[in-house]
Amino acid sequence: MDFALTQEHELIRESAQKFAEQYILPTVRELDRKHESDPNTLKRMGEAGLLGIAIPAKYGGSDTDYISLGLVCEELEKADSTARVVMSVHSGLHCMTLMQWGTEEQKHRWLPKLATGESVGAFGLTEPNAGSDAINIKTTARKDGDHYVINGQKTWISLADYATHFLIICKLAETDAKAPYAAFIVDRNTPGFSSRPLKGKLGVRAGNTGEIFFQDLRIPADCMLGEEGDGFKVAMSALDHGRYTVAAGAVGIMTASLEASVKYANDRVVGTEPIGKKQLVQQMIASMAKGRDIGRLLYYQVGWMKNQGLRHTREVSMAKWVNCEAAFDAANKAVEIHGAYGFSDEFPVERYFRNSRGAMIYEGTHEIHTLVQAEYALGYREDKPLARNLPTYPFE
């Protein structure tokens, strides 16, 4: 078992770090205050090659492995959650699911432009009355000849106003199937599509989030991923991929919280010595370091399993659950160490705190993952082989 990152991994990490320092950190505080997103971020990420991470070269991607995607997510979230959310939605939920479930024709049709950022992918599962209970979605797809007609809406959709293509999960109308769900790739320029932004979020304020609507939206049948009845399987595969990127990003929040706290604890002097000499402060610092190191090992394991083509639903749920809780705890401790300054946006730790709270909700709430892990431990849940698997690395 080799825990060492390759030279290529280190170069990718360094590249993501430099991108964050050049394009994210200089404006993040202002954008966060204004609740505004920067549309140029997507373009810059495409130009830097970040949107092609973990996509095979034959589809126009960088031909890098899945661990590389995790490293990029960690470094981007260390600066701010916004760019990592782009990677989670575009690369994880959309592109990797397309790689797993798409036909060769579909992959060659969509992935090359997605890999360069000319197209941007998003994902739509959540609805106003269907969150963790995704089986209760109301958006319908009705077959009409060699087309499907879609009606309904999705909410809390990242990149709702910027994405060019949406992977959406629908309930099939007029069917007696036991699993009446299907997945489709929808082009935002299709008549019947519309979106609107959602404002006033607690965290990830510089990220675009919104609702998308489908009114008699008509798409060809060859825009379906998998077959009729595969929709829920596609959705669960997408969540596995998204959860991996969120788990990796959470390590970035832990690292940022730790580094900010170490600096402040060494600079802030009370009496005759820095507060870093106080044992209760040291206890919090040690807890952050512990969470960061454990979190890295958890997401590295999932990245390795992806490379090997192994199913990892339990492991990625564990990584997402543990890492996001640890990230929130680290950010909370960072605020505590900073005292009153931790309550001000003059220091970044209050933003880490707000952003980390969101990660305990999206891609499966902390309660859902608790139940999932209990079911695995008790033997109530067992993973079966998937009909289609993610390409193993090295790619063919």
pLDDT tens track for 264-286: 999 999 999 999 999 999 999 99
pLDDT tens track for 288-325: 999 999 999 999 999 999 999 999 999 999 999 999 99
Q: Which amino acid is at 358?
A: G
CA distance 194 to 96: 25
CA distance 252 to 171: 36
* 8 A C-beta contact, residue 253 and residue 77: yes
Query: What is the model's pTM?
Result: 0.97
pLDDT tens track for 203-214: 999 999 999 999
Q: What are phi and psi of 74, to 5 degrees?
A: -60, -50
CA distance 167 to 354: 28
Please identify every residue annotated as catalytic: 363
Domains of the chain: 7-120 (1.10.540.10), 123-231 (2.40.110.10), 232-378 (1.20.140.10)
pLDDT at 358 over 80: yes
Q: Find the mean pLDDT for residues 343-359.
A: 98
pLDDT at 59 over 90: yes
Report the b/e string of 335-362 with b at 16+ CB within 10 A: bebbeeebeeeebbbbbbbbbbbbbbbb
